[in-house]
Amino acid sequence: MCGIISYAGKRKALPILLEGLYRLEYRGYDSAGVAVVEKNGVVQSVRAVGRVEDLASSLSGVDMHGTVGIAHTRWATHGAPSVANAHPHADCKNSVFVVHNGIIENHNHVRSALLREGHVFSSETDSEVLAHLIERALAGYRKPFFLEDAVSEALRHVEGTFGIAVVSAHDAGKLVVARRGSPLLLGIGDGEFFAASDSAALVRHTRRIVYLDDNELGILSPQGYEVRNFRHKPVAKAIETLVGSLSDAQKGQYEHFMAKEIHEAPDVIRNALRGRVLYHDGTVKIGALDSLAKKSARIERVVIPSCGTSFYAGLAGKYMIEEFAGIPTEVVHASEFRYAPPPLGAHTLVVAISQSGETADTLEAVREAKRKRAPTLAIVNVVGSSIAREAQMGIYNYAGPEIGVASTKAFISQLTVLSLLAVWLGRQHSLSVSTGRSILEELQYLPQKAAVALAAAPRVRELAEIYGAYDNFLYLGRKYNWPTALEGALKLKEISYAHAEGYAAGEMKHGPIALVTDTFPTVVIAPSDSVYEKTISNIQEIKARRGKIIAVATEGNTEIEKLADHILFIPKTIEMLTPILAVIPLQLFAYYVAHKRGCDIDKPRNLAKSVTVE
């Protein structure tokens, strides 16, 4: 959600800023803009509604030679998408320019005060108050004044979350950035410095990264950089090495990032398992859990706060942990956790799941859990992310960058990590060595089985040709594959804009069956597991009402061919791992339906990759 890239160095800033914006497109946005400080102190700014390419067209013929600048992609919150509401925002004199991720919660109060003082606003956004607050702070300083002091003073008056980058005609060679609750990192180059909301914008230029923490401010110029807290005290920050390569963020042979990421499933599973399986002992070795080992016997409960796809992974994880570790587990929408937290304490393990590690609601859930003295564990994909650093323990997915807005490989990776966590917790309690070994053995076969599931892509594409024009779908699953049904429906909604509802199959008779007609197909996840016969009963009920059935079933099942209109087969595996294989044809189906409907698959409307505001 929203993206920031900024630069202070010796090269022309504009090409670097534009290239960074292109790399941030996957986050989701509806407008974009840049501001560059020229050597004469004049700040030039151009904004456009639409894609970065629309901004690039607006910049055609504009001469920007400055070496300090800021740029932004905006995802609308306060105010509709428009040029006036696009970032950067300026003060009354067009001398201070700000880009902002986050939400200023008290912006109405601040705006009213500034209007009384004579400030003139040109947008509907909450963000514009920042430029005027900095303007007011600068006016209150005796010369010489410093931009970083004005920014610190301005931020004293705001409530909410922010990641900001600021330039000013009054301090032309300087770039100031700050964060509270919204990610921001510095890139350290050779005589040049960057700041961005996402490492994807920096990977082409540097591997040396400094992560800003909340209430910290960075001061960048071609001469160097410094980090301070908001009380003006210097903060020593470690320089870390950025993980990943430029090729990780490229589509390669695929038409869309989503297609590439679906087909990375076998490698994603291998990466999540690598170095973590102790087959002989029937257990798992994850360094982050070492500190928990001595306390594990006292864990009486697990709570999993998460959002969206991660929430559905958590639901499958609940079944795994309860079945194999015997620990009561609750999955909670992170957006509700902060306001109605479940009872927490030292004997409750809080497991936060987030692909980006920046999900605002999940981050706040971790902080709330820490306030209640509950041990916190993060399952995240992005090294150095806010949730990874906030939680007391962290397990990385190592799935590589996920660029497509609709999460695919991250879900598979999360399920794999949750199965490892279930084995580890189980072995700390009553899970036998032999059962642990059987799970781990099957996990190690899973990459090859995922490849088999992917080989059915041509068959899935054929189904998408048949069903691509349908506007309503029902997805059903039981036990471990109820979350799979929810996730399959979500994927179809996200990228094809077709209406889809995911349900626990046993709930079908409690309302959803009223929707079933010959134009309302049902996707049923029906592997040969402990609830297979019950699921078959659901299929028969739908067929009795002339509903069309697309079934996801286990290879070798000939019975289901008599009932389903279409079948997508997956390899046989143990019940707890079936969601990892069953979701692959559902991801492919969503992709091909969206492709047939001509949708913007990697950047679906109204969605953002990382939701960094509540």
| Catalytic residue of the set 2, 260, 449, 548 | 2
CA 412/CA 112 separation, integer angstroms: 48
Do residues 553 and 569 touch, judged by C-beta distance below 8 A? Answer: yes
Q: How far is CA 600 from the centre of its chain?
A: 18
Instruction: Count CA atoms closer than 13 A to 104's CA, side-chain side.
Output: 25
- Cα distance between residue 581 and residue 578, in whole Å: 5
- Exposed (0-12), middle (13-18) or buried (19+): which is 514, by Cβ within 10 Å? exposed
Q: What are the CA-CA distances from residue 575 to residues 268, 347, 528, 529, 590 (Å)?
A: 20, 29, 8, 6, 24
For the beta carbon of residue 412, count every other beta carbon within 10 angstroms: 29
In the block, tokens 């009872």 appear at 343
Closest CA to 19 of 158, 212, 205, 148: 205
Give the Å distances, CA to CA, from 352 to 314, 337, 382, 407.
9, 11, 13, 17
Helix (H) or strand (E) holding 502: strand 499-504
**Residue 213 one-letter amino acid:** D
Catalytic choice (449, 479, 493, 609): 609
SS3 per-residue string spanning 407-435: CCHHHHHHHHHHHHHHHHHHHHCCCCHHH
CB atoms within 10 A of CB 63: 8
C-alpha pair distances (Å), 212 with each of 179, 182, 239, 276, 417: 7, 10, 11, 30, 28
Whether 92 is a known active-site residue: answer no
39 is catalytic: no
Q: How far is CA 226 from the centre of its chain?
A: 29
SS3 state at 359: coil
Alpha carbon distance 170, 150 (integer Å)? 11
Determine the 3-state secondary structure of 264 from DSSP.
coil
- Nearest by Cα to 601 from 359, 267, 251, 348: 251
- Token readout for 52 is 């970065």
Q: Which two tokens stand for residue 66?
A: 């400055």
The Cα–Cα gap between 237 and 227 comes to 7
SS3 label, residue 524: strand
> What is the layout of strands, in order, in the sheet containing 96-101?
89-90, 96-101, 162-168, 175-180, 216-221, 224-229
DSSP codes, 167-224: EEGGGTT-EEEEEEBS--EEEE-SS-EEEESSGGGTTTT-SEEEEPPTTEEEEEETTE
Antiparallel, parallel or unpaired: β 162-168 and 301-306: unpaired
Which of 407, 422, 465 is closest to 577 using CA atoms?
Answer: 422
Active site residues: 2, 609
